[in-house]
Amino acid sequence: MMEEVATVIRNNHDGWITVEVKVKNACNHCESSESCGTSAVSKAFSPKVQRFSVPAKESYQPGELIKLGLPESVLLKAAAIVYLLPLLGLFVGASLGRFFMPILDIAATEAVVIGFGVLGGVVAWMMGRRWAKQLEQVSQPVIIARIGQRIV
């Protein structure tokens, strides 16, 4: 289970709390972070905090720290949807284009195969967006532990 520390922002008193998680970045961990273009772009455009609501059985006070957990299976499914599905769509689209070119009496050129591949990739990407939204709705982080108040 992936774990992350979050700060309670608001207790909604309806079984849900609003939490804030500081987004961690892979950059700034290597020796080249000062001269790396990727690090500069990441610092400029990545959000610093993320707010969302989670179900809570107990009452939490604003400012309290809690530990959230998310199963690895959710992350693996999300990665497959985002990365593998469009790639698979690209290959399937190109293969179908190659198969249907003689049937549709289209001249067999690489541009047509590339066009079918791009079309397959875009269709798979659009399907992936829909599946990702469904996955997001059914996979909520859970509260693992109550850490306490932040020491100032």
In this predicted structure, what is the pLDDT of residue 81?
92
Amino acid at 110: E
Q: Distance (Å, rounded) from C-alpha 92 to C-alpha 90? A: 6
Amino acid at 93: G
What are the pLDDT tens digits along the chain (152 aa)? Answer: 888 899 999 988 788 899 998 876 656 556 665 667 666 666 666 667 888 888 888 888 888 999 999 888 888 898 899 899 999 999 999 999 889 888 887 777 888 899 999 999 999 999 999 998 888 778 888 889 888 877 76
Structural domain total, the chain:
1
Strand partners, 143: 68
Residue (of 74, 68, 77, 56) closest to 3 by Cα position: 68
Residue (of 49, 54, 47) closest to 16 by Cα position: 54
The answer to whether 132 and 78 have CB atoms below 8 angstroms apart is yes
In this predicted structure, what is the pLDDT of residue 104?
80
Domain span including residue 134: 2-149
How far are the Cα atoms of 6, 9, 12, 20, 82 from residue 49, in angstroms, in the given order? 10, 12, 20, 6, 22
In this predicted structure, what is the pLDDT of residue 148?
80
In this predicted structure, what is the pLDDT of residue 123?
96
Residue (of 44, 49, 51, 57) closest to 16 by Cα position: 57
